[in-house]
Amino acid sequence: MQRAIAAAEHLVPCILARAEAVPGFAADGMLSAQEVFSQQLVTGLSNGMIIALIAIGYTMVYGIIELINFAHGDLCMLGAYFALTAAGALGMEAWSGAGGAAGLVALLVATACFCGALNWSINRLAYRPLRKASKLSLLVSAIGASFVLVNLGLFWGGLPMDAFAGGTSAAAPKSFPALVSALPAAQVGDVVFSRTDLLVLCVTVPLMVGLTVLVRFTRLGKAMRAVAQNPTAAALMGIDVERVIGATFAIGGALGGFATVVYSLCNQTISFQMGYRMGMDAFIAAVLGGIGNLPGAVLGGILIGVTRSMSDQYVEARWTNTVVFGILILILVFRPSGLLGARLREKV
């Protein structure tokens, strides 16, 4: 009920807080209009890249079994809880230097593995038995899976660990340690890139390149494209369709795992309800770009991220959702299959 509002309320100030954390903002007080614009552009881009990484998980699954995987955002939420548990149990906040960097990489990889395995299992338990059922049944099953994951997040947040504030209130948002500071790290012209911005780029760009290579040039990628085009024909060519679908879920989930760690490091607050907002943004991004289309998901993610930060700056934060959804609807009305989506003719 208050889920969406709560999520939006904690997301918006976080984005604003990040902008303020860049010293140029606070110190001078006065920034030229141009500087404000480019700074918002950086913030938007870096949020957009995170959204895009999650959107890829949606679009891959949609491309292959035409399912809006409602559980994907909540999967990312559980990934954030996993990362917080690991970071808290190992006391990673105190690690510094090379150890800290190695720990961060290990945290990213471990969370990605966790999310990949979880997404694979969800597919196995909740979606695979429904291959022959209608698409609506599959959608309801995905909604069910999303509810289950939200509830698991609630339970998880009640663990009596220090990282979860002793678990006194399972439902309360948890603070995520700032393993990477938001201090400025690089400056290009007047634009300041914080360390978290660079982290986002260092994590997302190689993953997207790697995924493109995987889909274009490997056997598995070829099999994925074949199954997306025509599962029956693919099966007749000797492709193990179920294995390919499982791999798609695992890869999409793993990308979500990377994204959620970066997201948590940037925003430093996680809650068991954040999956809805994360999933919503990512899903809009996927649809905006043309669902089933990988470059489309990235383009959509960046557009959503930049639109959000621009709207926060130039319209008003409380109208940002309306602006984003309004643009989404307008684009779909005039380009019903998304920006880069193939224009499908209806088959007779």
Give contact residues for another protein (rule: CB under 8 A): 1-5, 62, 66, 68, 125-126, 129-130, 133-134, 136-141, 143-152, 154-155, 158-160, 166-170, 276, 280, 283-284, 287, 291, 318-319, 321-322, 325-326, 328-329, 332-333, 336-338, 346, 348
- Nearest CA to 196 out of 207, 206, 185 is that of 185
| Euclidean distance between CA atoms 323 and 118, whole angstroms | 34
9, two tokens: 């309320």
Handedness of CA 99, 101, 102, 106 (dihedral sign): positive
Q: Which is nearer to another protein, 48 or 338 (CB)?
A: 338
Q: Which is nearer to another protein, 74 or 197 (CB)?
A: 74
Closest distance to another protein from the beta carbon of 2 (Å): 5
Q: Which is nearer to another protein, 1 or 236 (CB)?
A: 1
Q: Which is nearer to another protein, 34 or 147 (CB)?
A: 147
Position 347: which residue type?
Answer: K
Closest distance to another protein from the beta carbon of 57 (Å): 16
- Nearest CA to 107 out of 236, 257, 255 is that of 257
Q: Which is nearer to another protein, 100 or 167 (CB)?
A: 167
Position 118: which residue type?
Answer: L
Give yes or no for a contact between 272 and 10, defined as CB atoms under 8 angstroms apart. no
State residue 341 phi and psi, 5-degree precision: -70, 150
Closest distance to another protein from the beta carbon of 301 (Å): 15
Which residues are paired to 187 by β-bridges? 192
Q: Which is nearer to another protein, 122 or 262 (CB)?
A: 122
Handedness of CA 120, 206, 223, 54 (dihedral sign): positive
Position 318: which residue type?
Answer: R
Closest distance to another protein from the beta carbon of 116 (Å): 20
